[in-house]
Amino acid sequence: MTINKYQAKYYAYELSKKASSDSSEKFGATLLDAKVELNPHQVEAALFAFKSPYSKGAILADEVGLGKTIEAGILLSQFWAERKRRILIICPSALRKQWLNELVDKFYLKAEVIDNISFNKKSKAGIVNPFDSTDTIKICSYQFARKKAEEIQLTSWNLVVLDEAHYLRNVYKFGNVTAKTIQNAIRDYKKVLLTATPLQNRLDELYGLVSFIDPEIFGDIKSFRRNFVLESGSRDIEGLRERLSQVVHRTLRRDVREFVPYRERIPITQQFTPTEEEQDLYNKVLDYLRQENTYAFPAAQRHLMQSVIFKLLGSSSFAVGKTLEALIKRLKQLLENSKVVEDDLYELLLSEYENLDDEKDELEEEEQEPELNEITLEDKIAIEAEIKQLEEFLVLANRIEHNQKGESLLIALEKGFAKLKEIGARDKALIFTESTRTQQYLFERLSKEKYAGRILLFNGNNADALSSQIYKDWLADEKNAGKITGSKAVDIRQALVDAFRSDQYQIMIATEAAAEGINLQFCSMIVNYDLPWNPQRVEQRIGRCHRYGQEFDVVVVNFLNASNAVEARVFELLEKKFRLFEGVFGSSDEVLGTIENGVDFEKRIVEVYKKCRTKEEIDAYFEQLEREFAAERDEAIREVQTILFENFEVPVIERLRITLSETRVFLEKFEKWLWELIRFYLHQKAKFIYDDYTFILDNGEKYTLNKNREDAKRLLLNGPIAQKFIEQAKKEHTPLAHLEFNFSGQNKKYQELENLQSKRGFLKVSQLNVSSEIESHSVLIFAGLTDANEQLNDEICRFILSLDSKVFPGNHRIQLDEIEGLHTKIKQERLKYLEDTDAALMQREFMKFHNWADDRIAFLEAELKEAKKEERELTRASMQEGLSSAEVLELQEKLNKTKRKVSRLKREMFEREDEINEQRDQMIAEAKNKLNRTITEEEIFTISFELV
């Protein structure tokens, strides 16, 4: 079958129409392009975010592991497709690259990280505000957003996404500078907050998060506390649930088990004991880092760099040796120049420890220590002594040829592979280290064993000879044509992942670069050779393999230094308190939610190393730390959370089934329409592989709609090829004509059509475009009538237009008056439905404003009521018999003071009530104006038809 220009034009309008906010068809085009599995709860969440055109956003609060990033990605793709491309993502710095990779890999969206370096580079190039452009989605950290709040505020964002938004839940508290600054900067823009933990220890936190989205949901913090937080037992929890239902969407794991299979984590602990030489090196460097005065570190970054060396100490003697060389080099430069010089210590440490940039960005500004400008004689003597000290350490480090920890890795791998064989998983292992030097050591050590030739490296540069060759071969393989993005950094990552997936490689040794945004669900073993102190980073690592699509349980191997008391206590926290290493989901929402910032947690561990010498001191410190970070929450809060966020399972599951069914139908339709449109315009310029939705252009370029095919480029509905032909089809000249549709020749029976008395009739198709300040959408109107005067519904009209057909021009048989009359009637029905929908939308919005005003007035009334009650009690007390003159005077003074308070509150009540009502009325008027709609109509075509 090849369609004609009438069908091409109709398909083009179907493919380009804008669905309304509450339509499950809204994300059909977006999901067609996205390289993600269709999960109905994610579509539901994305629909919820802007189900009303009045919506200022939403809090998407699915439990851990359900894919809130995908939900946000669906929304971002939709905005991008609608040409609303000023989009900002604010997230913890450790997640910036992950967001970048997810958007590129899964949604084909252009994005960039904005940080100090890129911002300054753009500024020097003459770009006034690097945030203000529509060529890429912007990603930045919370700390950078605070620093650049003015530039962010001056950009007219279409959408702002805030990941791990529980960082902001205390915005209502005085002194929370970061949260308050960001709130003010993005106040006027639509927002989506992502958090698995909308509520931790206080109901006030809900007020904080909701106020980020919509400050009119609740009156203010005082009225919120009075209505919902008081411990008197009169809290209106059902009222709170009703208000939250407008803005918070939460799916529970148990709701989606039918759609999303999950696997367990199996922990293995590999203990080791360093040799005497290793322990000697460790103790000496540790004592050096504890010294009050050292010259090797730049004052502005002293604590950050010392923190890195504490971590490298636990990695390998080879990592420490490389770092010692860098410190010695800097000290010698100080002596040679007799003053502080620009040095490359930061770059040297960054090449060794790739997470340095993220941690630097995450830390608040360090207290500036005075930097040495001129080196005194006393300084020189101290620096020479420090050099001698470090050179002794370096000699010791270079003398160590083998690390006991490295030898223990051989044992750990044997244990892990045995477990994989037992559960039937592939024998692949992903080994994480925090040091590039340790990475190289492990590669060389394992290459001496049976793993030779079966090991890959993965780091921030991927510049080693093996990775470069793999990348070169990957580019040359035509099977990968559809994956090539043109960005070497992105493509080499994909090449290494594909190589690891193959049977040729068994082990990937990775730095933290592999913890961000790559999917390795074909691997079922994670080895934490160096275990991060940040629980969120540990969870992120394990999530590379323990994720949706994993077919087997995941083995998690952790190394533990048996002679290190601090490391043992950190491991105990991560294992028992944060519960990272076992279970179906790893760490729970409640646990991760207690950690406001994983870098802050790391800083506390560095403190232990600096301050604690004895086991007793270490134990005491960790006991205090456990009390601070314990996930012990008030039982009453747990009960309230259950009422507020848990759903009734059966209705939720049924709704998800419907969403899944509807969305699949739309995807099938969109895919068919696009395929037929491409065939119509390229039928003489391309070779088509019909059963695989793939075509090859005359120039050899291969495109496909098949998401499983990797040797062709994806044909994207929102890509240049499809958009070109959609626009061309919409301009086709389609005058009055007669079309014969082949009904008998198609395989599928359509009972409703077979039951019609007449198989001849008339059909008019047009599009209504509905736009207002806050929403634009379009509706296709089908007016179908048979010769026997039988009205055809939309579904029958769509079916007829999908049949193979022939066009006969110049038809004069069409009864224009009848078809126009029917078309006018259907259009009026649609407009009436739109009017009724608008009324319901405004009713909900107006009720929100009334609630807001009532909250604030009720608080004033309660204050006045309390003051009057106090006045009555004092009046009674002052009239008691037997009072002394002093008591009479004291009571009278209190009574006078209370009477003045009552008078003041009465005046305030009178003034504030009018003011609040005026504000409410203004909000209602503005809301009404926002929905003033402009309606235009485009005729697509009018035809007569016959089914043959």
- Highest average pLDDT, of 93-97, 463-467, 750-754, comes from 463-467
What is the per-residue pLDDT across 596-624, written as a single tens digit (0 to 9) for each?
A: 556 677 888 888 888 888 889 998 988 88
| pLDDT score of 517 | 65
Query: Does residue 855 belong to any structural domain of this protein?
Result: yes
Query: Does residue 663 belong to any structural domain of this protein?
Result: yes
387 and 409 share a domain? no
- Judged by DSSP in three states, 95 sits in helix
| pLDDT score of 626 | 76
Query: Does residue 636 belong to any structural domain of this protein?
Result: no
**What is the C-alpha to C-alpha distance for residues 482 and 702, in angstroms, rounded to an integer?**
8
**What is the layout of strands, in order, in the sheet containing 760-771?**
791-792, 776-786, 760-771, 934-947, 737-741, 805-809
| pLDDT score of 714 | 87
pLDDT higher than threshold 90 for residue 276: yes
- Mean predicted confidence (pLDDT) in 101-118: 88
pLDDT higher than threshold 90 for residue 411: yes
Cα separations in angstroms, 361 against 350, 366, 912: 13, 11, 44
- Mean predicted confidence (pLDDT) in 99-116: 88
174: how many CB neighbours lie within 10 A of its CB? 6
Count: domains in the chain: 5
- Mean predicted confidence (pLDDT) in 98-108: 86
Q: In the listed set 602, 631, 660, which residue is the last one of a domain according to the structure?
A: 631
| pLDDT score of 161 | 96
What is the per-residue pLDDT across 576-588, written as a single tens digit (0 to 9) for each?
A: 777 777 776 655 5
Query: Does residue 31 belong to any structural domain of this protein?
Result: no
What is the per-residue pLDDT across 8-57, written as a single tens digit (0 to 9) for each?
A: 999 999 988 887 776 767 777 778 888 877 788 888 888 888 777 777 88
Query: Does residue 270 belong to any structural domain of this protein?
Result: no
| Contact of 888 with 840, CB cutoff 8 Å | no
pTM score, whole prediction: 0.76
- Mean predicted confidence (pLDDT) in 199-214: 79
Burial of residue 735 (number of CB atoms within 10 Å: 0-12, 13-18, 19+): exposed
What is the per-residue pLDDT across 618-666, written as a single tens digit (0 to 9) for each?
A: 989 888 887 776 544 455 555 566 666 665 445 666 667 677 777 777 7
The CATH number assigned to the domain holding 540 equals: 3.40.50.300
Query: Does residue 909 belong to any structural domain of this protein?
Result: yes
Angle in degrees, 0-180, between the axes of helices 276-290 and 377-399, rounded to the nearest 10 = 160
State which residues form the domain around 690: 648-732
| pLDDT score of 368 | 47
The residue with greater pLDDT, 309 or 429, is: 429
Instruction: Find, among 799, 842, 800, the residue nearest to 929 by Cα.
Output: 842
pLDDT higher than threshold 80 for residue 756: no
Q: What does the block give as tokens for 576?
A: 């028992």
pLDDT higher than threshold 70 for residue 812: no
**What is the C-alpha to C-alpha distance for residues 677 and 721, in angstroms, rounded to an integer?**
11
**What is the C-alpha to C-alpha distance for residues 333 and 296, in angstroms, rounded to an integer?**
10
280 and 382 share a domain? yes
Contacts of residue 851, defined as CB under 8 A and 6 or more positions apart, other chains included, come to 217, 243
**What is the C-alpha to C-alpha distance for residues 837 and 416, in angstroms, rounded to an integer?**
59
- Mean predicted confidence (pLDDT) in 730-755: 82
- Mean predicted confidence (pLDDT) in 53-65: 81
The residue with greater pLDDT, 169 or 466, is: 466
369 and 409 share a domain? no
| pLDDT score of 632 | 47
pLDDT higher than threshold 70 for residue 698: yes
- Mean predicted confidence (pLDDT) in 695-702: 89
- Mean predicted confidence (pLDDT) in 153-182: 84
Of the listed ranges 88-92, 377-381, 880-884, the one predicted with least confidence: 880-884
- Judged by DSSP in three states, 176 sits in coil
838 and 948 share a domain? yes
Query: Does residue 30 belong to any structural domain of this protein?
Result: no
- Mean predicted confidence (pLDDT) in 768-772: 85
507 and 445 share a domain? yes
388 and 409 share a domain? no
- Mean predicted confidence (pLDDT) in 318-331: 89
Spell out the SS3 assignment of 437-454: HHHHHHHHHHHCCCCCCC
Buried b (16+ CB within 10 A) or exposed e, 811-846: beebeeeebeebbeebbeeeeeebeebbeebbeebe
689 and 776 share a domain? no
Share of the chain above pLDDT 90, in %: 30
Where are any strands of DSSP class E within 388-547?
429-432, 455-458, 507-510, 525-528
pLDDT band per the 50, 70, 90 thresholds, residue 358:
low
265, containing H or E segment: strand 265-272
Q: What does the block give as tokens for 652?
A: 């939720």
718 and 679 share a domain? yes
Mean pLDDT of the chain: 83
pLDDT band per the 50, 70, 90 thresholds, residue 367:
very low
Q: In the listed set 732, 750, 778, which residue is the last one of a domain according to the structure?
A: 732
- Highest average pLDDT, of 318-327, 553-562, 803-812, comes from 553-562
| pLDDT score of 832 | 84
The residues pairing with 946 across neighbouring beta strands, listed in sequence order, are 740, 760
775 and 687 share a domain? no
| pLDDT score of 322 | 86
| pLDDT score of 592 | 55
pLDDT higher than threshold 50 for residue 896: yes
- Judged by DSSP in three states, 690 sits in helix
The residues pairing with 271 across neighbouring beta strands, listed in sequence order, are 560
What is the per-residue pLDDT across 466-500, written as a single tens digit (0 to 9) for each?
A: 999 999 999 999 888 777 877 788 789 889 999 99
507 and 601 share a domain? yes
**What is the C-alpha to C-alpha distance for residues 861 and 855, in angstroms, rounded to an integer?**
10
pLDDT higher than threshold 70 for residue 703: yes
| Contact of 531 with 580, CB cutoff 8 Å | no
Helices (H), 68-215: 68-81, 96-107, 116-124, 142-147, 149-153, 177-185, 204-213
236 and 317 share a domain? no
- Judged by DSSP in three states, 510 sits in strand
The residue with greater pLDDT, 585 or 550, is: 550
Query: Does residue 643 belong to any structural domain of this protein?
Result: no
| Contact of 462 with 492, CB cutoff 8 Å | yes
| pLDDT score of 559 | 96
683 and 759 share a domain? no
Q: In the listed set 367, 399, 431, which residue is the last one of a domain according to the structure?
A: 399
| Contact of 708 with 721, CB cutoff 8 Å | no
